[in-house]
Amino acid sequence: MRKKIVAGNWKMNKNVTDAQQLMIQLLRYKNNNATNCEVWIAPPALYLTMAKDVFDKGQVGVFSQDMSAYESGAYTGEISADMLQSIDAKGSLIGHSERRQYHNETDAQCNVKVKLALDKGLIPVYCNGETLEQRKAGQHFDVVKTQTETALFTLTADEIKKVVIAYEPVWAIGTGETATPEQAQEIHAHIRNIIAAKYGQDVADEISILYGGSVKPDNAKEIFSQPDIDGGLIGGAALKLEDFSKIIEGFNA
């Protein structure tokens, strides 16, 4: 059965004191509550080693928000897959829409990063999704298909099984506007069908596909109840334990 996951993307938020406080709250929560899903966080890169120290028994998976497409060398400001591997990080977000929007990241680059992450034993959380203009123009199915194929279809079946996909419609990120559970489900099923057409249904059925875009305590349960939605990538609501824990509990019966 594929993994159920709730992952928090902290983006560029919190100073070191506040970051540590939230990690400790989350650790206590995890220690005191049985959860029906894996819990992952992607704090700013500066706090990754702290996160590894706090979650020293792997209670929460630690991810970077991005990683370099290059192995090592003169790439100022970047962090490498090797560095992430050396702190025993679980993986990295790749191709988040904010990386695409503000850093012109492309699916071809995501393809290189995904492969590099896998080569280093890291889980790539590959993010895709259409813009508002693309949805209004009825292009969302095609956009997501092209993104998925370009970034992932050079992988072998064994490799793609290790990838987690996060479908995040750009118009729903940080806007308070959420795709309806039905809108999200139809794209998730579409992504799974695209993968099944190339790699077979068994492979497609093993891949966790998360939904991201203004998931909140009051809509998480309904979104997570859709058959092809295996969890969420959570931005704003991951910054407070009260909200994040309620989203995690969206997987409770």
Catalytic residues: 96, 168
State which of residues 116, 233, 241, 248 lies at the interface with ligand PEP (CB under 6 A): 233
Alpha-helical segments (H) within 33-130: 48-54, 81-86, 97-103, 107-119
| Angle formed at CA 66 by CA 64 and CA 67, multiple of 5 degrees | 95
Strands 209-212 and 164-167: parallel
Nearer to ligand PEP, 199 or 248 (CB): 248
Nearer to ligand PEP, 41 or 173 (CB): 173
State which of residues 224, 236, 245, 247 lies at the interface with ligand PEP (CB under 6 A): 236
Residues 93/103, Cβ–Cβ less than 8 Å: no
Name the residue with the smallest CB distance to ligand PEP: 235
Beta-bridge mates of residue 38: 5
Please, which residues have CB within 8 angstroms of residue 113's CB and are 6 or more apart in sequence?
A: 67, 68, 69, 92, 94, 95, 124
Place of tokens 């092209």: 146
Does position 95 bind ligand PEP by CB under 6 A?
no
Does position 92 bind ligand PEP by CB under 6 A?
no
Other beta carbons less than 10 A from residue 108's beta carbon: 10
Nearest to 173 by CA among 203, 212, 116: 212
Does position 89 bind ligand PEP by CB under 6 A?
no
Near ligand PEP by CB under 6 A, which window of 26-34, 43-51, 200-208, 227-235? 227-235
Cβ of residue 8: shortest distance to ligand PEP, in angstroms? 9
State which of residues 174, 180, 201, 202 lies at the interface with ligand PEP (CB under 6 A): 174
Please report the sign of the dihedral spanned by the C-alpha atoms of residue 63, residue 40, residue 188, residue 153: positive
Cβ of residue 15: shortest distance to ligand PEP, in angstroms? 19
Near ligand PEP by CB under 6 A, which window of 26-34, 146-154, 232-240, 244-252? 232-240
Cβ of residue 166: shortest distance to ligand PEP, in angstroms? 7
User: Please, which of residues 187-226 interact with ligand PEP by CB under 6 A?
Assistant: 212-215
User: Please, which of residues 5-64 interact with ligand PEP by CB under 6 A?
Assistant: 9
Cβ of residue 112: shortest distance to ligand PEP, in angstroms? 21
Does position 168 bind ligand PEP by CB under 6 A?
yes
Residues 6/39, Cβ–Cβ less than 8 Å: yes
Please, which residues have CB within 8 angstroms of residue 202's CB and are 6 or more apart in sequence?
A: none
Cβ of residue 172: shortest distance to ligand PEP, in angstroms? 6
**Which residues are at the interface with ligand PEP (CB under 6 A)?**
9, 168, 173-174, 212-215, 233-237
